[in-house]
Chain A
Amino acid sequence: MKETLNARRLLCPLPVIRTQDKVKQLQSGDELEVICTDPGVLQDIPAWCRINGHKVLETRSGEQEYIIVLEVC
């Protein structure tokens, strides 16, 4: 299953908190795409994934948006 989380306009750590809360509802193997506008997420969401044992599959930086795709482990 692939889910998307809209974390636009939120400043860190809120995108991390929303990611954390969303991941709790997902199953191992599910993918979550988080769309953010705070560039800080490029640092924080991967750090949160490392700590909690999830896998970052992809990070993309657009003009104003930063997208992180992770796999729930």
Chain B
Amino acid sequence: MNQPRKAIALISGGLDSMLAAKTVMEQGVHVEGINFFTGFCVEGHTHAIREKDKTKPKRNNALWVAEQLGIKLHIVDVIEEYKKVLLNPKHGYGANMNPCLDCKIFMVGKAKQWIAENGFDFIITGEVIGQRPMSQRKSTMPIVAKQSGADDLLLRPLCAKNLQPTLPELEGWVDREKLHDITGRSRKPQMAMAERFGINEYAQPAGGCCFLTDKNYSAKLVDLWQARNSREYELDDIMLLKVGRHIRPKPHFKLIVAREEGEGRFLEGYKREFVSLKCSSHSGPLVLVDGDPSAKDLYLAASITARYGQSRNAETVDMAINFKDGSERTIQVKPLADADFVQDWMI
């Protein structure tokens, strides 16, 4: 008997990639999943840093989808390689800092490399023509296939019938007739298909699959680059942008203010890398100071910090300043008055 053909499916954790994989599995193809971690992915656990989200399930959707489908999942750390995609996207950005088209090309390209190394035959994505304004248009489909190097090894089972036949179809590894012809932004065909497959629970990420599509997050990222005069970033930088209120009173330093306990605990882990502030006379949040603050700047930072927590209405408060070397100093400050707090400081 012939060995079944093998395909790798890009699994984002959403419904479309799940249906695409399922469609091909139904045809007897051996499917495994691949998921790329760019550092910007919206993860249940990143939200779980915040206490208020603790009631929500903290599962990783890609792992959950793989388990539902009964397939293996390979999660690949692409944090370093992704930098060049984000910093120099050939096809530009979407509404925010999301380089979706370049990102798709990059991920499919990585999948192509993976199938070559692991003896798989083709690649599956859950793309649908017209689903996303930037990266999923009829005109971009061949661009992704070509520029990723995947060419006709890239099968989009959800809209294959509206595209040129690919090698898996031409070779009869999959039956084109059993693939689909979904177009547009309506989710109805996918929902009907999910019902047919008996899939009644799936993630519907409201903000897309990554923070780069988020307006506030993108603003913080651009602010970070401007303040440093460099677009270099490390994982810690981009993780910290997901946490707390960010306030920049001067170009050369900003405050990261924990919004609640969970964030405070997360920021605690960075006390050796940043100067940090915490009110010692009242209860209040942990604040990291990112940048190069002078003694005068730290006084301003302390008076801003005193605006948060129970010290807000106090006459004076004791503010403990922790330095990176572990030394500590306490200063007395007045909480900064509303009239002196410039709203534009909020990033």
Chain A residues in the interface with B (C-beta under 8 A): 9, 11-14, 16-17, 20, 37-40, 43-44, 47-48, 50-52, 64
Contacts and interface: CB of A to CB of B under 8 A. Distances in A.
B67 A40 contact: no
A52 B48 CA distance: 25
Main secondary structure of the interface of B (DSSP, over half): mixed
B75 A40 contact: no
Contact of B71 (A9, A13, A14, A51): A51
Residue from A13, A37, A38, A43 whose CB has the most chain B CB atoms within 10 Å: A13
Contacts of B76: 17
Interface string B58-70: 1110111011000
B60 A16 contact: yes
Given A17-B77, A20-B74, A47 B63 contact: yes
Nearest to B265: A64
A58 B44 CA distance: 23
Given A13-B75, A14-B77, A52-B72, A44 B63 contact: yes
B37 interface: yes
Tier of interface size on chain B: 20 to 34
A43 B67 contact: no
Given A13-B43, A14-B37, A44 B73 contact: no
Contacts of B331: none
**9 residue pairs, one from A and one from B, having the closest CB atoms:** A40-B45, A12-B45, A47-B63, A40-B58, A44-B60, A17-B77, A17-B75, A9-B269, A51-B66
A28 to B, nearest CB: 16
B46 interface: yes
A17 B45 CA distance: 14
A49 to B, nearest CB: 10
A11 B43 contact: yes
A72 to B, nearest CB: 15
B269 A37 contact: yes
Contacts of A43: 57-60
Contact of B48 (A16, A40, A51): A40
Interface in B70-99: 71-77
Contacts of A51: 63, 66-67, 71-73
Contacts of A14: 37, 77
B122 to A, nearest CB: 21
A12 B43 CA distance: 7
Contacts of B73: 48, 51-52
A20 B48 CA distance: 22
